[in-house]
Amino acid sequence: MLKLPKDFLMGGASAAYQVEGATKEDGKGKVLWDDYLEKQGRFSPDPAADFYHRYDEDLALSEKYGVQAIRVSIAWSRIFPNGTTDKLEPRGVEYYHKLFASCAKHNIVPFVTLHHFDTPQELHEIGDWLSPVMQDAFVDYAKYCFKEFPEIKHWITINEPTSMAIQQHVSGTFPPGEKGRFDNAFQAEHNQNVAHARIVNAYKDMNLGGEIGVVHALQTVYPYSDSQADKHAAKLQDAFENRLYLDGTLAGEYRPETLSLVKEILANNNQPMFKTTPEEMNELSQAAHQLDFVGVNNYFSKWMKAYEGASETVHNGTGAKGTSVSRLHGIGEEKKPDGIETTDWDWPIYPKGMHDILMRIHDEYPLVPAIYITENGIGLKESLPKNANNDTVIDDPKRIDYLQKYFKAIAEAINDGANVKGYFMWSLQDQFSWTNGYSKRYGLFFVDFSTQKRYVKKSAFWFKKLSETHEIL
Ligand code: BGP
């Protein structure tokens, strides 16, 4: 039987905008999503899981079910409503002090993300990650948080720089909804790498004794067949989705092969190369040498086939299985081999991809001291039985099966030498999903969004046992 190491940390994950609700309360400033979602009219970020008012209840449940750590993010615009340090909102600051005190009360270690997809509206309007003003404001906000919240010993600079950049500028599923602007995506990624690095370096200069890392979305990319063309498509996709920021944040430099693949993608799309300065490259190098950990968000893997046509992407945001399409001009087409199971949202379930990505960090990025799995889990359509009462337990065998397989892959990677220190399941409780609303449930705890009542899922019992015994059954 596979076992996790004795000191392996078992956690649950969340992000401010996906759980807090209360988007207009206590002076919170708007973020890029507020008007965008309202205009779209599909779903509202309120009340989400009403964590703004119910955090203590959720942390008590977490303690009861073996959750030893939690990933939360600070909503930047609760503290600085328009993003800059010119105007401070003390009620936002007070909320996070109370949240962190509740974590301490329930013996839960908070890992705190500074930016989880929620750029303040005013900074979004001037270019978001493409704007130097935004980068400076982010560094100022981060330094403020380091001083204000000394109770936090585990910081995460940015959640998934690349998925933010790609969804904002290539697939168009995040505001501002641009499609096909590979140049903007690469520039935004580089700018996030630099902002991250400046913050890591500032944190280390402040000598606060905690640890700091970054969280990346990492999908292992495989060729669809053995043909040279498919193998090359996989390399291009990997450069696009993984390599640029892995190099920038974990090696502190962009390696020649990475740059040549990025150039090829941009040339294929007649778009210019992203810009860097020597000062920025110094920041990257310094930060990579002082980084304490990398967070890996891994849910699925990808298979690539050569593709010559125009870019075409269709997002499955409803759970209608088989509807997603991703064909990118100058990169390739996503095509899954037969026999690999997918979720209703077309995410292939492939635990080997988790093992392979962990081993890749271990093999190719030796500066990285430690890895946490900062997100992993499965989105399912789940509902409350009609005759539910306080003792109702939601049956979620698919989630238990998914977790068993992924935990085995993680334990194998640890046996093979990867220094994985902990795991945060996405998600702690059911939450609001950016592009899927409320029907894609990931939680250990079920949330009835109409009453905000919590119910335990069977997977929470499974999780508790694993947290107590470290034995993967
Ligand atoms: C990650 C994000 C999370 C979360 C998760 C699940 O990329 O960091 O915020 O949303 O994916 O994604 P989804 O909600 O699209 O199913």
In order of 14, 457, 468, the CA distances from 428 in angstroms are: 6, 11, 17
Res 84 pLDDT > 90: yes
- CA–CA distance, 206 with 144 (Å, rounded to integer): 11
Q: What is the pLDDT of residues 239-296, one digit of tens each?
A: 999 999 999 999 999 999 999 999 999 999 999 999 999 999 999 999 999 999 999 9
b/e code 444-461 from CB counts within 10 Å (16+ = b):
bbbbebeebebbbbebbe
End-to-end CA, the chain: 7
CB-based contacts of 222, cutoff 8 Å, min separation 6: 234, 301, 302, 303, 304, 353
> At 468, phi and psi to the nearest 5?
-80, -40
Rounded distance, CA 403 to CA 444, Å?
Answer: 11
**Residue whose CB lies within 8 A of the most ligand 1 atoms, among 375, 380, 436, 441, for a mutation test:** 375
What is the rounded average pLDDT of the residues 32-44?
Answer: 96
Counting Cα atoms < 13 Å in the Cβ hemisphere of 198 gives 17
What is the residue with the minimal CA distance to atom 10 of ligand 1? Answer: 433
pLDDT(473) > 90: no
Q: Position of tokens 């759980």? A: 19
Please name the residue whose Cα sits nearest to atom 6 of ligand 1: 433
Ligand 1 pocket residue status of 375, Cβ below 6 Å: yes
For all residues of the chain together, what is the average pLDDT?
Answer: 97
Domains, the chain, in order of start with CATH, read 9-469 (3.20.20.80)
At 266, which helix (H) or strand (E)? helix 256-268
Residue at token pair 């009620």:
91
User: At 372, which amino acid appears?
Assistant: Y
Task: Work out the number of other CB atoms within 10 angstroms of the CB of residue 70.
Answer: 23
Q: Which are the catalytic amino acids?
A: 160, 375
CA nearest to 51, candidates 451, 433, 429, 423: 429
Candidates 271, 284, 214; CA nearest to 240 is: 271
Query: Is any atom of ligand 1 closer than 6 Å to the C-beta of 297?
Result: yes
pLDDT at 73 over 90: yes
**Ordered DSSP codes for 344-390:** TT--B--HHHHHHHHHHHHHH-TT---EEEEE----B-----TT--T
pLDDT score for 66: 98
Best residue among 297, 316, 318, 378 to mutate for probing ligand 1's pocket (most ligand atoms within 8 Å of CB) is: 297
Q: 42, 111, 434: which to mutate for ligand 1, most atoms within 8 A of CB?
A: 434
- Residue 1 pLDDT greater than 90, yes or no: no
Q: Please check whether residue 428 is in contact with residue 374, taking contact to mean a CB–CB distance below 8 angstroms.
A: no
Give the alpha-carbon dihedral of 407, 167, 80, 151, to 10 degrees. 10
pLDDT at 40: 94
Note the residue count of the chain.
473
122 lines ligand 1 (CB under 6 A): no
pLDDT of residue 328: 95
What is the average pLDDT across 98-109? 98
Task: Extract long-range pairs of 312-318: CB within 8 Å, 24+ residues apart.
Answer: 313/170, 313/171, 313/172, 313/179, 315/171, 315/173, 315/435, 316/345, 316/346, 317/173, 317/345, 317/435, 317/436, 317/437, 318/436, 318/439
Q: List, as own/partner pairs, every contact residues 400-403 make where C-beta atoms lie below 8 angstroms and the sequence separation is at least 24, other chains included.
A: 400/458, 400/459, 400/462, 402/349, 402/377, 402/378, 403/377, 403/378, 403/459, 403/462, 403/463
Question: Looking at residue 409, what is its pLDDT?
Answer: 98
Q: How far is CA 292 from CA 198, 247, 295, in A?
A: 15, 16, 10
Round to whole Å and give the CA distance between 156 and 137.
17
Give the Å distance between the CA of 226 and the centre of ligand 1: 31
Does ligand 1 lie within 6 Å of residue 346's CB atom? no
pLDDT in tens, 190-244: 999 999 999 999 999 999 999 999 999 999 999 999 999 999 999 999 999 999 9
For the stretch 124-177, pLDDT in tens is: 999 999 999 999 999 999 999 999 999 999 999 999 999 999 999 999 999 999
Closest CA to 255 of 270, 242, 268, 265: 242
380-428, pLDDT tens digit by residue?
A: 999 999 999 999 999 999 999 999 999 999 999 999 999 999 999 999 9
Phi-psi bin for 322: left (phi > 0), alpha (psi -120 to 50), beta?
left
Q: How confident is the model at residue 53 (pLDDT cuts 50, 70, 90)?
A: very high
User: Quick check: 472 pLDDT over 90?
Assistant: yes
| Ligand 1 center–CA 227 separation, angstroms | 32
Q: 3-class DSSP state for residue 393?
A: strand
Pick the closest to residue 114 from 68, 54, 160 (CA basis): 160
Q: What's the CA-to-centroid distance between 152 and ligand 1, angstroms?
A: 24
Residue 240: predicted pLDDT: 96
0.80 exceeded by pTM:
yes
- For the Cβ of 433 lying below 6 angstroms from any atom of ligand 1, the answer is yes
Q: For the residues 444-462, what does the mean pLDDT come to?
A: 98
86, 146, 152, 94: which is closest to 120 by C-alpha? 86
CA 433 to ligand 1 centroid distance, Å? 6
Question: In this structure, are residues 252 and 288 in contact, taking their beta carbons and an 8 Å threshold?
Answer: yes
Q: Residue 223 and residue 234: Cα distance in Å, rounded? A: 5
Q: Tokens 């509807």 correspond to what residue?
A: 323
Q: Is the CB of 334 under 6 A from ligand 1?
A: no
